């Protein structure tokens, strides 16, 4: 006879912001590209991820989640004819910041999304890679037994200076055990510009990694407002049997998006709840705690918000698994 026991699993999801507004590049003609690339790169430098990583790490240390899903975990590279190559790896910077404070996480899955290489007006070449990453705390009891890292089949097609470009997005998933309880966690970042593309991407999740009977957790930036005012993606996921941990924990508001692109707004601009932790196949699971993190003025660096999104933290209780 199996004994009754409770297992706790804590999860955080956070879009940590690529660091600059890229939209002007999508509207540019060829001659404008170098000047706009320089402007975008200067904004990235001004939103200083090295400083923001300290604020993000502080929130992680306060909660010590077992698993973290990151979106927009960027990799910026500058290649110059005048100096050595410079690399700004958001994942490496954040992991080092956490390790310096005595908390070690490891990357257990990541999917590479869009990559772009463009010239600046200062004779440099800028390369940007977007990634979604799943981290697991080294001292956690979570044991990863399988991972999948892939991109969506349906992605937004745009043109940059008249040339076709795919805004590639994707998802990562792990099958894992915690104290003998098996579950699957999926981390993703859905398209924000096209409702049709976003709906198709969510359907790929439902027909792919969500096609399981084991306990299932979705984390990520879904770009679909939970109040129903935006795209139907949130409603579709709930209709497919997912439960919103924020509602399950009996919380209200929980806005996570979005601060200004320069992260300098004094008053918080968060007015949408698009960053979610959803769960399914959860007869014996209960959301016992839920909290938005990085959303108050005291969470900022001297002037910068940690990200244009707030993070979401949830603790689940798994019973009799």
Is the bond preceding 16 in cis, omega lying within 30 degrees of 0? no
- Give Cα 119 distance to the centre of its chain: 27
How far apart, in whole angstroms, are the C-alpha atoms of residue 20 and residue 5?
Answer: 47
Residue 289 token pair: 């705690």
User: Which residue ranges of the chain lie beneath pLDDT 70?
Assistant: 1-5, 283, 320-321
237 C-beta neighbours (distance < 10 Å), count? 23
Global pTM reads: 0.95
Describe the crossing of helices 49-63 and 90-100 by its angle, rounded to 10 degrees.
Answer: 50
Instruction: Round to whole Å and give the CA distance between 245 and 276.
Output: 8
Residue 277: CB atoms within 10 A of its CB come to 24
Best CATH choice for the domain 6-319 from the list 3.30.70.660, 3.60.10.10, 3.40.50.620, 3.40.1410.10: 3.60.10.10
Sign of CA dihedral 174, 65, 219, 207: positive
Residue 302 is classified by DSSP as S
Q: In the beta sheet, which residues pair with residue 313?
A: 12, 291
Going through the chain in order, the beta strands assigned E by DSSP cover 6-15, 67-71, 75-79, 86-89, 105-119, 125-137, 142-151, 156-160, 163-167, 170-178, 181-189, 216-221, 243-244, 275-280, 285-293, 311-319
The span from the CA of 191 to the CA of 114, in Å, is: 12
Task: Say what the pLDDT of residue 293 is.
Answer: 97
What is the gyration radius of the CA atoms in the chain, in angstroms?
A: 20
Residues 238 and 247 sit within 8 Å (Cβ to Cβ): no
CA–CA gap between residue 93 and residue 49 (Å, rounded): 8
Give Cβ neighbours of residue 16 (< 8 Å, ≥ 6 apart): 49, 52, 56, 70, 71, 72, 73, 90, 94, 306, 307, 309
């Amino acid at each position: 006879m199996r004994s009754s026991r409770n297992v706790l699993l804590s999860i955080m999801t956070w879009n940590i912001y690529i660091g600059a507004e890229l939209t002007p590049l999508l509207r540019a003609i060829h001659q404008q590209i170098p000047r706009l690339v320089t402007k975008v790169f200067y904004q990235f430098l001004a939103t200083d991820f090295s400083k923001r990583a300290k604020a993000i790490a502080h929130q992680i240390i306060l909660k010590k989640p077992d698993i973290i899903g990151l979106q927009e975990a960027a990799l910026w590279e500058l290649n110059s004819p005048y100096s050595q190559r410079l690399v700004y790896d958001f994942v490496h910077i954040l992991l080092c910041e956490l390790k310096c404070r005595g908390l070690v996480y490891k990357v257990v899955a990541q999917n590479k999304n869009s990559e772009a290489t463009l010239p600046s007006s200062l004779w440099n070449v800028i390369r940007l890679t977007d990634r979604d990453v799943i981290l697991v705390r080294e001292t956690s009891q979570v044991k990863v037994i399988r991972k999948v890292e892939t991109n969506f089949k349906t992605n937004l097609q745009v043109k940059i200076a008249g040339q076709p470009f795919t805004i590639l997005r994707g998802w990562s998933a792990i099958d894992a055990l915690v104290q003998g309880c098996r579950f699957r966690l999926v981390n993703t970042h859905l398209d924000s510009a096209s409702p049709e593309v976003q709906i198709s991407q969510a359907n790929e999740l439902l027909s792919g990694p969500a096609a399981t009977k084991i306990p299932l957790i979705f984390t990520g930036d879904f770009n679909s407002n939970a109040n129903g005012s935006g795209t139907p993606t949130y409603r579709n996921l709930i209709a497919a049997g997912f439960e919103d941990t924020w509602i399950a924990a009996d919380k209200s508001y929980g806005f996570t998006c979005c601060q200004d692109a320069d992260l300098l707004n004094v008053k918080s601009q968060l007015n949408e709840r698009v960053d979610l932790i959803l769960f399914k196949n959860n007869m014996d699971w209960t959301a016992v705690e839920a909290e938005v993190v990085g959303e108050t003025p005291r969470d900022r660096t001297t002037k910068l918000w940690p990200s244009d999104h707030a993070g979401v933290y949830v603790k689940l209780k798994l019973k009799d698994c």
